[in-house]
Chains A and B, each alone.
Chain A
């Protein structure tokens, strides 16, 4: 039997509080050798965020994107997918 699958993750912030995010998509880029994660918070429906996903054995971290080329890459992916259909 299948377990119902949710795209939601609980994240612990710097303050110690926890928040729930809804994962929209995970993109693997061979150019930059990184995985990008696109998500939004549960309460905010208007804002969308992107960050780098560093997955390790027992933990993972969502890091900020500093390079402008990577941001343009994500925007180009979004435009490509939205225009293809």
Chain B
């Protein structure tokens, strides 16, 4: 980015001098070259507009002084481009106005050619000295033999010539006809000449899904409890209820798929807790003690993503199976273990606090009593200091302990032992192997789901095809019907009808979609080939670009952007192609037999 901005900053003026402004001035250049220059400067402005916020984001880790420098340079480049564009537009306006007059004149009165030439030579022609200001005229004299001679003259002669020209021109002023002028003044723009590279793919119009009666199971109505008026509940039944409730509250709630021993130490389940129901969110699990408290949100989400649980917040719901994966992960086991250690530390700290309070109370009593036994006092003080020191160790451990740092335990109790480290590494290996197996299991689950759903659909579709075949065969035949027939009086008959209708309509809808989806897949493939060919052509052009010039830089940036846009379009087409293939997979037999092209 730095190099880009420096090259633009150093070479913007040179481009103007070398390509736009010739020795004799801007006016010598043609209209097409001036328009190219305008587009070139506008492209540079667009690039600078993008680079300034990228500098503020500071992805390249620049210092603030560098950021301020390059932002200043970028703004200066932007402002210079504005100035050059305004200059060029002024010249274009005059040239376009001159062309109108030239057309008017040359069309009707050939004698006005010469007068128009004079006018052009003054304001937009090739002669010496006309560079910056249009008002500094150095006039021209006519030769009676229709030859032009360039000479220097005085200001008085200039005014006479201007008057002569104006009078002669505006005498025979002709109204403008739009067609001729627009043809010559406004040549076809480059945008119109360019072919539309990005085609707009029009989707085939599919009909809407037919409205289907959704069949739902009837919910059994709960009969309300009938209570007789003037009924007195006996007191014995109340006592039984209270006994039962007390018995339930004494026992903890049922824990599904977890170790009970650790949870009792971690947190005592409240008496008001009901039986835990899955699926539940992660935050609920933490609150109720099924997951430890001391894990950060980000770490927990990382662990979930490694196990195949696609969670982004703590409001993500989990089933029993996924909870069992979490429960057996090393990170959470270590966190639980550390919680136990912390709780035990805190118990010890409480005990120490008690002892310290007792000793301090004794100390105060001794002093207040008046009996001044110095030895006894010194011993009390020393014991209090010793207790405070030991208490400080525990508090230090609690503050410095991380939630997943199990080595602290080993250092604390066993010592810095290599055996403990090797055990920890083994656990990590097993944990990583489990995570890999979970990924394989998730894929197999999806494959099984798709396989079973496909089979069921194929079975249903075959049955519907059979019925349609028989009905078609029956239509061509004669019929015999006895008036007495069996009437069905089944309560579920209406549901049955709705289900059959739904399946038939769905079958017909998917059949249509299958054929159209296969056609779309062919179109997508053709378009992807075209885009890949364009990409390869762009890579060839990129190889021929010269970065040393500003022009080459701008071209490179444009081409790289086109490549990225093409790749995004290809990815979008691949996604659409996948969806079409899924929808059409139930009708492989038909697609083989039919000819879609």
Report if B191 contacts A (CB, 8 A).
no
> Which A residues are CB-close (under 8 A) to B475?
9
B485 touches A51 (CB 8 A): yes
The distance from the CB of B345 to the nearest CB of chain A, in whole angstroms, is 58
B479 touches A61 (CB 8 A): yes
Residue from A2, A47, A64 in contact with B484 in the complex, judged by beta carbons closer than 8 Å:
A64
State the interface size on chain A (CB cutoff 8 A).
41
Interface residues of A (CB under 8 A from B): 2, 5, 7, 9-14, 19, 23-26, 35, 38, 47-51, 53, 55-56, 58-65, 71, 74-75, 78-79, 81-83, 85
Report if B413 contacts A (CB, 8 A).
no
B485 touches A62 (CB 8 A): yes
| Most A-side CB within 10 Å, residue of B466, B486, B499, B512 | B486
The distance from the CB of A55 to the nearest CB of chain B, in whole angstroms, is 7
A74 touches B488 (CB 8 A): yes
> Which A residues are CB-close (under 8 A) to B474?
9, 55, 60
A-B contact pairs, 28 of them (CB 8 A): A2-B511, A5-B508, A14-B483, A19-B481, A24-B496, A25-B467, A25-B496, A25-B500, A26-B466, A35-B470, A48-B490, A49-B488, A58-B477, A59-B478, A59-B480, A60-B474, A60-B478, A60-B480, A62-B479, A64-B482, A64-B486, A75-B488, A78-B496, A81-B499, A81-B500, A82-B496, A83-B492, A85-B215
Contact residues, B321-354 vs A (CB, 8 A): none
Report if B227 contacts A (CB, 8 A).
no
Report if B471 contacts A (CB, 8 A).
yes
> Which B residues are CB-close (under 8 A) to A60?
474, 477-480
A61 touches B481 (CB 8 A): yes
> Which B residues are CB-close (under 8 A) to A48?
487-488, 490, 493, 497
> Which B residues are CB-close (under 8 A) to A7?
471, 504
Residue from B466, B477, B492, B500 in contact with A59 in the complex, judged by beta carbons closer than 8 Å:
B477
A49 to B483, CA, bound (A): 11
Report if B159 contacts A (CB, 8 A).
no
A85 to B500, CA, bound (A): 11
The distance from the CB of B481 to the nearest CB of chain A, in whole angstroms, is 5
**Per-position binary interface string of chain B over residues 445-468, scored 1 when its CB falls under 8 Å from any chain A CB and 0 otherwise:** 000000000000000000000111
A65 to B493, CA, bound (A): 18
A62 to B484, CA, bound (A): 10
Q: Please report whether the interface of chain B is mostly helix, strand, loop or mixed according to DSSP.
A: helix
- Size category, B interface: 20 to 34
Evaluate whether A64 and B487 lie within 8 angstroms (CB atoms) in the complex, with A7-B471, A10-B479 already known.
no
> Which B residues are CB-close (under 8 A) to A5?
468, 471-472, 508
A58 to B478, CA, bound (A): 7
> Which B residues are CB-close (under 8 A) to A85?
215, 499
A2 to B465, CA, bound (A): 14
A78 touches B478 (CB 8 A): no
The distance from the CB of A3 to the nearest CB of chain B, in whole angstroms, is 9
> Which residue of A has the minimal Cβ distance to B512?
A2
> Which B residues are CB-close (under 8 A) to A38?
488
The distance from the CB of B207 to the nearest CB of chain A, in whole angstroms, is 13
The distance from the CB of A2 to the nearest CB of chain B, in whole angstroms, is 8
A47 touches B480 (CB 8 A): no
Report if B473 contacts A (CB, 8 A).
yes
> Which residue of A has the minimal Cβ distance to B515?
A2
B499 touches A9 (CB 8 A): no
Report if B495 contacts A (CB, 8 A).
yes
B481 touches A78 (CB 8 A): no
The distance from the CB of A37 to the nearest CB of chain B, in whole angstroms, is 9
Residue from B488, B495, B504 in contact with A50 in the complex, judged by beta carbons closer than 8 Å:
B488
A62 touches B488 (CB 8 A): no
The distance from the CB of A46 to the nearest CB of chain B, in whole angstroms, is 9
A2 to B481, CA, bound (A): 30
A32 to B474, CA, bound (A): 22
> Which B residues are CB-close (under 8 A) to A2?
511-512
> Which A residues are CB-close (under 8 A) to B467?
23, 25-26
**Per-position binary interface string of chain B over residues 506-518, scored 1 when its CB falls under 8 Å from any chain A CB and 0 otherwise:** 0010011000000
The distance from the CB of B10 to the nearest CB of chain A, in whole angstroms, is 68
B482 touches A71 (CB 8 A): no
